[in-house]
Amino acid sequence: MLPPVVRPFVQSHSVPYYPHVHSGTVLVAGSAWCTQDDVERALHLRPKAPIITVNRSAGHFKSILMVTIDRGKGLAWKQSHMDNFREPVTLHAGRFGGKGKMAYPWVDYFWPQYPSGGTSVWLAAKIALGIGFEEVIVCGAPLECGPYLDGDNDPKEGWTTRTPVQLESYRKIWRYDKFMHPHVKSMSGWTMDLLGYPDVK
């Protein structure tokens, strides 16, 4: 039995207000090379868990919603979900950004009080807990260097050239947000070492 979720942002709401309340377990699918394998193994553990996709994984997995920090690229990723699954998906982002929320009409919900550091996957985990899920299983987010799940090795885009300093800038935020640790597990990599592997039920 998990302890009650401590939500330090309990007074914060999305803009516009997100009307749905969820429960149980959700998978958060990142975009690393290990995403497909991680999701398959996680679904073996939690067969009924829905999926929240992050960035380019939206085109690979049918999801209940998608999350990104990179608001400018969100439209293309959102469209990839529609193209591949013939179903619309709502796009969630963190803060409005310098241009304001009107500059990104394809973003359905902003969460301005949720800090977005630590990668889009970590933002997705915060949003997942905030909308009611009690257990989040992170897939495809080892926070280690490597290509994206679609094989993209572009050093300007991917994680193949991240320096130790860059990796640490993300990892320190995951370590700092200790209130999330009892409710978030990971399937692989450094994040699994930090958060632990999901319990076998």
pLDDT tens digits for range 138-157? 999 999 988 888 776 565 55
Q: Does residue 10 form part of some domain?
A: no
Give the position of tokens 């257990």: 135
Joined together, the tokens standing for residue 194 give 């930090």
The answer to whether residue 174 sits within a structural domain is yes
Q: Considering its fold, how many domains does the chain have in total? A: 1
Q: How many CB atoms lie within 10 A of CB 75?
A: 14
Question: Measuring CA to CA, which residue among 141, 193, 146 is closest to residue 170?
Answer: 141
Q: Is residue 141 part of a domain?
A: yes
- Looking at this protein, which amino acid is placed at residue 13? H
Average pLDDT over residues 178-200: 96
Its domain, for residue 39, covers 28-195
Contact 116, 164 (CB under 8 A): no
127 or 115, higher pLDDT? 127
Q: With respect to residue 13, please indicate whether it lies within any of the assigned structural domains.
A: no
Listed residue (46, 45, 2) closest to 25, CA to CA:
46
The position carrying tokens 């930090």 is 194
Kindly state whether residue 17 falls inside one of the protein's structural domains.
no
Give the count of alpha carbons within 13 A of 123, CB side only.
27
66, part of any domain = yes
Higher pLDDT, 29 or 166: 29
pLDDT of residue 10: 46
CA-closest candidate to residue 33, choices 141, 171, 116, 114 = 141
Question: pLDDT tens digits for 69-121?
Answer: 888 888 899 999 999 999 999 999 987 665 666 678 889 999 988 877 889 99
Checking if the pLDDT of 5 tops 70, the result is no
Q: Note whether residue 15 is domain-resident.
A: no
Residue 75 to residue 48: CA distance in whole angstroms: 28
pLDDT at 4: 57
**149 in any annotated domain:** yes
Q: What is the average pLDDT score of the chain? A: 87
CA 107 to chain CA centroid, Å, is 15
For residues 5-29, average pLDDT: 79
The contacts of residue 63 (CB under 8 Å, 6+ apart) are: 29, 50, 51, 52, 53, 81, 89
pLDDT on residue 77 = 92
